[in-house]
Amino acid sequence: MNVDLKILDARLRENMPAYATPGSAGLDLRACIDAPITLEPGQWQLIPTGMAIYLKDPGYAAMILPRSGLGHKHGIVLGNLVGLIDSDYQGQLMVSAWNRSPTAFTLQPMDRLAQLVVVPVVQPTFNLVDEFEAVSERGEGGYGSTGKQ
Ligand SMILES: O=c1ccn([C@H]2C[C@H](O)[C@@H](COP(=O)(O)OP(=O)(O)OP(=O)(O)O)O2)c(=O)[nH]1
Ligand SMILES: [Mg+2]
């Protein structure tokens, strides 16, 4: 699959967005900020990534996810938990960086902050019904209905 990519911050040209390993699912997104930003405990801020993608095909979307190291060790996750990038979005990719930890965290310019995963998407047509087919073993059960063990 080929996706149009715009570089909006020239500093990315020295560090072009690339998959870190051949098997990487996520493409690291960098904090395209001019100076360090300190996120106090509980604080969040929208961080530009210096790049835009245009997926175009409604059969795809992209998701912005936390990096596991930053999230687990430093509590730097996303203010929207997951960022969903529509196939028709052409603007700059933005990361809502949220410090959910009790310790301040300083983000340096061009740090790898989050990651982008491109995923297939289905837009179904909906068939309006009054009752679903009674063939489902689960039925309306949920929220732990199958037990704990
Ligand atoms: O973490 C994110 C989430 C979204 N977006 C961009 C791409 C996405 O296609 C657009 C709209 O996102 P979403 O639909 O989640 O937000 P909304 O609050 O519903 O805004 P809109 O009314 O523009 O759809 O914002 C980002 O850059 N980063
Ligand atoms: Mg929306």
Alpha carbon separation from 122 to 35, 59, 86, 87, 118 (Å, rounded): 40, 6, 12, 12, 13
What domain count does the chain have? 1
- Residue 51 located in a structural domain: yes
- Residue 139 located in a structural domain: no
ipTM greater than 0.90: yes
State residue 92's pLDDT score.
98
- Residue 6 Cα, ligand 1 centroid: separation in angstroms? 18
- Residue 103 located in a structural domain: yes
pLDDT in tens, 112-141: 999 999 999 999 999 999 999 999 999 999
| Closest ligand 1 atom to 78 CA | 1
- Residue 144 located in a structural domain: no
Ligand closest to the CA atom of residue 61: 1
For residue 35, the domain's CATH number is 2.70.40.10
Q: Give the pTM.
A: 0.95
- Residue 149 located in a structural domain: no
pLDDT in tens, 80-98: 999 999 999 999 999 999 9
pLDDT in tens, 42-81: 999 999 999 999 999 999 999 999 999 999 999 999 999 9
Please give all residues whose beta carbon lies within 6 A of any atom in ligand 1, as ranges.
64, 80, 83-86, 89, 93-94, 96
- Residue 12 located in a structural domain: yes
Cα-to-chain-centroid distance, residue 122: 18
- Residue 69 located in a structural domain: yes
Its domain, for residue 28, covers 4-120
Query: At residue 8, what are phi and psi to the nearest 5 degrees?
Result: -100, -15
